[in-house]
Chains A and B, each alone.
Chain A
């Protein structure tokens, strides 16, 4: 066949786009302004594709349950977890976290878990949103 892609291209013209148009149908001139508008209720955001069950997103830490055994620090591949000796608790720097959830597996009291939150981009790697403690 000479142009084997033609039928495919034509049929595609009558279909919905395969991609999810996140965050809006057309790229807003200013994303920050767009997000402010969304907050104020002036604009509507197209949500991202839903994550499946068992997705490894932002880590969650149950401070009360933690016994300070430091096992998570031992297996963390990127050194994202810091021990706070005075309180015997941990601090997790998400900017370094690789989201492997190995600390969840080794924790003897199951005080760590993964949520489905994944929009974590930030200009400052030590911002409040990126430190879990």
Chain B
């Protein structure tokens, strides 16, 4: 398969998904003693086409490597970031593609990709319990890291009233007062 440059990948994405590609940027890092260039691709997509973008990635690399889904509370939205790697297997050939999917807090639902990439399951479960997003049609809808007795509707990574600041205790400060 021909290796596309990061610029070509962005162009292809824009051509295929038009206005649903909200933003894209190519960050270049200079690494090592020789300061070689390493491009890092970030694309923000609308959640309506997100699953299609992953399907498109599969045309570039049969099994794209999903490193992890990270995410954060961005105020009005919850941003999920899917860190993909393609073209691995040869020195300095790998290309990272970070797909950002903003979800409105009022209805934070996104399609599962576990059916296309089975390795995404634990990461998707984790996002459900840590950020309170809903992964539609997730194959295994149970908690993975948080225990079953943890209160519903409290999510450790949220920065609003659904966060855990009110139920957390700062143990060492309590002890020092003694």
Answer whether A and B touch in the complex at a CB cut-off of 8 Å.
yes
Complex: A126 Cα to B176 Cα, angstroms: 10
Closest B residue to A126 using CB positions: B178
In the complex, whether A28 has a CB less than 8 A from a CB of chain B is no
Residues of the A chain whose Cβ atoms lie less than 8 Å from the Cβ of B176? 82, 93
- Tally of A-B residue pairs with Cβ under 8 A? 5
Complex: A66 Cα to B13 Cα, angstroms: 60
- Using a CB-CB cutoff of 8 Å, which residues 119-178 of chain B contact chain A? 172, 176
Size bin of chain A's contact surface: under 10
B170 to chain A, nearest CB (A): 9
Complex: A7 Cα to B76 Cα, angstroms: 68
Complex: A93 Cα to B172 Cα, angstroms: 11
Contact mask for chain B residues 22-66; partner A; CB cutoff 8 A; 1 contact, 0 none: 000000000000000000000000000000000000000000000
Complex: A96 Cα to B172 Cα, angstroms: 9
In the complex, whether A79 has a CB less than 8 A from a CB of chain B is yes
A39 to chain B, nearest CB (A): 32
Residues of the A chain whose Cβ atoms lie less than 8 Å from the Cβ of B172? 78-79, 96
A128 to chain B, nearest CB (A): 16
A43 to chain B, nearest CB (A): 37
Closest B residue to A125 using CB positions: B175
Complex: A82 Cα to B176 Cα, angstroms: 10
B: residues with CB less than 8 A from A are: 172, 176
Question: Can you name 5 A-B residue pairings with CB atoms under 8 Å?
Answer: A78-B172, A79-B172, A82-B176, A93-B176, A96-B172
Top 3 closest A-B pairs, CB basis?
Answer: A79-B172, A96-B172, A82-B176
